A and B are shown apart, each in its own frame.
Chain A
């Protein structure tokens, strides 16, 4: 890669000096590198270099040398010690476990509802199609923090209209901030925010399926349900893979919703989700070395996980095409 870059750089200087057709051709050869330059510079500066720097930091630690109050703190190389310390911390596994529970609630519920709504939108003879579509898509315009604030107030005992409705009909109001129910409360915010976007992605894919397929199936006696199950869902697989991977990545980095709810309840600890633990390590406990180790581990795991899912699902979805 570096060779090609210097090649390109050398070719930039001379073109105007030589006449004829060659300069244009040479200019065209260096052009793509110029077009890529800003993106690659930023990619290097804000993706590659931070990862490398964090990896380097994750192998170091601040140590006290000398004795007593005269001792100085010096940064030294400690090998994999941060990793073994971070990865043996029980709280990390507790937070990973909570993330798993959260993911198992959010991903199926969000994608299932999105698929259901997309299939319903795609049916003939449905009323209020565009009004309901816009309505379901609306929360996408609401940022995670504000969605969490909003739902936080809907959950909060003193303000909650949901609890008041329960009170009014004489039922015991649900506790949204219980140790178990908090998972549903946080998951609900993510589902609310994401269902519309995923629905639109799936609906757009459904609209691209030629309708002749449905006509043929109907002539063969399939009802709407069978058409959906046998034709639409299998043909939606690429869109389902895409939305599935993005929801999984979003689950791995869940931070905003629990962090925003935490002022309203004490069920959410400062290390409730892995990213919150990293945040606490780095900014509350000032242990950037351990935080660097955990974030490198988390970024690595999510990269590997999405690569595996992508490969497996594509083999299943596209196996026949090759």
Chain B
């Protein structure tokens, strides 16, 4: 099993041959399918932006796909920010802490482990790698309940740690870092560094990390989304709404609002405000995505 997984190539693909340009006819069938797909994916997100411009009354009465300019947006944002003593802002900051700090720390931990697995021969290496691979295949979410039970035993549930610490270990990130380190760091460079008298930790910081950077950005984004997406972990660990991330906070708001439709617009505005920065981040970092890490991951 690990044979094919380990002999992965993630080397950057160079110079794809020039595509057929002989015929200038547009491929309308394919273009049409792609446009339909894009509409399916974009329209619901667009709807949330439009719906957030509407006051509670308008939400149920006006045409769905036309924004309202009667100041509903301002009212909704004010209402949301004022809700529960600025709960929304706190949730946003908490999310930034869990997903932002969490993903940065995960990348550092995974990069160092992946680098060791890729670039050193040591006793127990194969065993450790196999254990980590098995960890990739165990769903993180099924671990949430065991993690809760353990943390409850040591009295850590309900703290920031209870969400942050379990998020830091990502076997998949270690696996990706190992693939990338194998492809991106030439052994000769490390040998040259050693001959020049650099210590191992210096080699890691000054030689390995810069070379791994493009792969690490991908791992960072994947992990950011994974933590931000993980609903069950904060949902079971936290009971104090002050420590909620946005996802759990909005869920709680919806749960409360199910009986009072006046809260719907707050939930919709909250959803809009929480996906806006993430969409912006993705569009900005688009060109740093190295998803060939994933697709090439299993190449024999």
Docked Cα-Cα span, A299 to B143, in Å, equals 8
Q: Which residues of A contact B (CB under 8 A)?
A: 1, 3-5, 7, 24, 27-29, 31-36, 38-40, 42-43, 45-47, 49-51, 53-54, 57, 113, 116-117, 120-121, 123-129, 131-146, 149-154, 158-159, 161, 164-165, 192, 195-196, 200-202, 204-205, 207-208, 210-212, 215, 218, 238-239, 241-242, 245, 249, 252-253, 255-256, 259-260, 263-264, 275, 278-279, 282-283, 288, 291-292, 295-296, 298-299, 302-303, 306-307, 310-311, 314, 317-318, 321
**In whole angstroms, what is the CA distance A4 to B27 when docked?**
60
B124 touches A145 (CB 8 A): no
| Contact code string B251-262 (vs A, CB < 8 Å = 1, else 0) | 100110010010
Q: In the complex the two chains form, what is the Cα distance from A212 to B109 in whole Å? A: 41
A31 CA to B119 CA, complexed, in Å = 11
Q: Tell me the minimal C-beta distance from A316 to chain B in angstroms.
A: 12
Which of A123, A196, A302 has most B Cβ within 10 Å?
A: A123
Contact A150 B146 (CB under 8 A): no
Check if A39 sits within 8 Å of B112, measured CB to CB: yes
Task: Tell me whether B37 is interfacial, beta carbon within 8 Å.
Answer: yes
Measured between beta carbons, the chain B residues less than 8 angstroms from A33 are 116, 122
11 pairs, CB–CB < 8 Å, chain A vs chain B: A4-B123, A35-B204, A39-B169, A121-B34, A142-B275, A145-B231, A149-B268, A205-B292, A239-B295, A310-B1, A314-B4
Query: Is B19 in contact with A124, judged by CB distance below 8 angstroms?
Result: yes
Which of chain A's residues have a CB closer than 8 A to the CB of B97?
A: none
Closest partner residue, chain A, to B200 (CB atom):
A31
In the complex the two chains form, is A143's CB within 8 Å of B247's CB? Answer: yes
Select which of A27, A36, A208 is within 8 A of B200 by beta carbon: A27
In the bound assembly, the distance between CA atoms of A177 and B6 in angstroms comes to: 45
> Taking the nearest CB of chain B, how far is it from the CB of A264, in angstroms?
6
Which of B142, B171, B286 has most A Cβ within 10 Å?
B142
Closest CB in chain B relative to A83 CB, distance in Å? 15
Q: How far is the CB of A218 from chain B (nearest CB, A)?
A: 8
User: Beyond A120-B34, A124-B20, A138-B45, is A38–B109 a contact (Cβ under 8 Å)?
Assistant: yes
Chain B minimum-CB-distance residue to A257 = B231
| Contact in complex: B255, A53 (CB < 8 Å) | no
Is B73 part of the binding interface, using a Cβ–Cβ cutoff of 8 Å? no
Interface residues of chain B, those whose CB is within 8 Å of chain A, are 1, 4, 13, 16-17, 19-21, 23-27, 30-31, 33-35, 37-42, 44-45, 47-48, 51, 59-60, 63-65, 109-110, 112-113, 115-117, 120, 122-125, 127-128, 131-132, 134-135, 137-143, 145-150, 153, 165-166, 168-169, 171, 174, 194, 197, 199-201, 204, 225, 228-229, 231-232, 235-236, 246-248, 250-251, 254-255, 258, 261, 264, 267-268, 271, 274-275, 278-279, 281-283, 286, 289, 291-292, 294-300
The answer to whether A146 touches B275 (Cβ under 8 A) is yes
Closest residue on chain A to residue B204 by CB atoms: A35
Nearest chain-B residue to A292 (Cβ)?
B149
Once the chains bind, are B141 and A275 in contact (CB under 8 Å)? Answer: yes
In the complex, what distance in Å separates the CA atom of A54 from the CA atom of B138?
Answer: 14
Q: Which of B31, B197, B201, B248 has the most chain A CB atoms inside 10 A of its CB?
A: B31
B123 to chain A, nearest CB (A): 4
**What's the Cα separation between A129 and B64 when bound, in Å?**
28
Closest Cβ–Cβ distance, residue B244 to chain A (whole Å): 11
Q: Is the CB of B116 within 8 A of A35?
A: yes
Is the beta-carbon distance between B142 and A253 smaller than 8 angstroms?
A: yes
Contacts of B232 in A (CB 8 A): 255-256, 275, 279
A42-B169, A298-B142 known; A208-B13 Cβ under 8 A:
yes
Q: How far is the CA of A36 from the CA of B120 in the complex (A)?
A: 11
Report Cα–Cα, A5/B138, bound state, in Å.
25
Instruction: With both chains docked as a complex, state the minimum distance between the C-beta of A258 and any C-beta of chain B, in angstroms.
Output: 11
